[in-house]
Structure 1
Amino acid sequence: MRNESAEGKRISHVRNFQVLEKHEGKSIGLDVSEYQGKISWSYVDTLEKKYPLHFVFIRATVGKDRKDHRFNRNWLGAKENKMIRGAYHYYRPNENSLEQAALFIETVRLRKGDLPPILDIEKLPENQSLDNMKVGLKRWLKAVELHYGVKPIIYTGEKYYNDFLKDEFSNYLFWIANYNFYREEIDDDWLFWQFTEKASVPGIQGNVDVNIYNGDVEQLRYITVE
Structure 2
Amino acid sequence: MKRRLPILLSLSLCSAIAALAQSPEFSEPWKNPKVAIAIDPFEKNEIDWDQLATDPRVVAIIHRATIGDRADLKYAERRDEAKKRGYKWGAYHFGKPVDPIKQADFFLATVKPGADVLIALDLESPDATKHMSFDEARAFIKRIKEKTGRYPLIYANNLVTKAISEQYGADEVFRKTHLWYARFKPSVTDFPEGAWKTYTLWQFSSEINCDPANRAACLYSVPGTAYDMDVDVYNGTIEELRKKWPLDKP
Q: Normalized against structure 1, the TM-score is what?
A: 0.77
Contact preservation (8 Å) 1:192, 1:214: yes
For structure 2, which runs of at least 5 residues remain unmatched after alignment? 1-27, 211-219
- Deviation (angstroms), 1:97: 0.4
Structure-2 separation of matches of 1:219 and 1:124? 32
- Deviation (angstroms), 1:125: 4.0
- Deviation (angstroms), 1:193: 0.6
Structure-2 separation of matches of 1:181 and 1:207? 18
RMSD between aligned residues: 2.9
Give the 3 Å change call, closer, same or farther, for CA 31–20 of structure 1 in structure 2: same
Which residue of 34, 42, 59 corresponds with 1:54? 59
Contact preservation (8 Å) 1:200, 1:207: no
Paired residue secondary structure (2:151): coil
Contact preservation (8 Å) 2:151, 2:176: no
Give the 3 Å change call, closer, same or farther, for CA 46–159 of structure 1 in structure 2: farther
- For 1:172-192, what per-residue CA distance to the aligned partner results, in whole angstroms no more than 9, with x for missing partners? 2101000024549x9961101
Structure-1 separation of matches of 2:78 and 2:158? 27
Asked if 1:220 is matched to 2:241, the reply is yes
Which residue of 171, 176, 196 corresponds with 1:171? 176
Aligned to 1:152: 152
Aligned to 1:120: 122
Give the 3 Å change call, closer, same or farther, for CA 46–209 of structure 1 in structure 2: farther
Give 1:123's aligned amino acid: S
Asked if 1:192 is matched to 2:201, the reply is yes
Aligned to 2:39: 30
The correspondence of residues 86-105 of structure 1 with structure 2, limited to 5 A, is 86-92=90-96, 94-105=97-108
Structure-1 separation of matches of 2:41 and 2:128? 27
Structure-1 separation of matches of 2:106 and 2:175? 26
- For 1:166-213, what per-residue CA distance to the aligned partner results, in whole angstroms no more than 9, with x for missing partners? 6132222101000024549x9961101111113543333443111111
Structure-2 separation of matches of 1:19 and 1:149? 31
For structure 1, which runs of at least 5 residues remain unmatched after alignment? 1-17
Structure-2 separation of matches of 1:126 and 1:194? 22
Structure-2 separation of matches of 1:54 and 1:76? 15
Bigger CA radius of gyration: 2
Structure-1 separation of matches of 2:145 and 2:58? 27
Aligned to 1:69: 73
Give 1:80's aligned amino acid: K
Give the 3 Å change call, closer, same or farther, for CA 46–194 of structure 1 in structure 2: farther
Give 1:180's aligned amino acid: K
Give 1:104's aligned amino acid: F
The correspondence of residues 12-27 of structure 1 with structure 2, limited to 5 A, is 20-21=30-31, 23-27=32-36
- Deviation (angstroms), 1:56: 1.0
- Deviation (angstroms), 1:109: 2.1
Give 2:141's aligned amino acid: L
Question: Taking every aligned residue pair, what percent have the same amino acid on both sides?
Answer: 26
Give 1:178's aligned amino acid: R
Instruction: For CA contacts below 8 A with separation 6 or more, give which structure has more relative contact order.
Output: 1
- Deviation (angstroms), 1:60: 0.2
Structure-1 separation of matches of 2:120 and 2:78? 16
Q: Normalized against structure 2, the TM-score is what?
A: 0.70
Give the 3 Å change call, closer, same or farther, for CA 171–19 of structure 1 in structure 2: closer
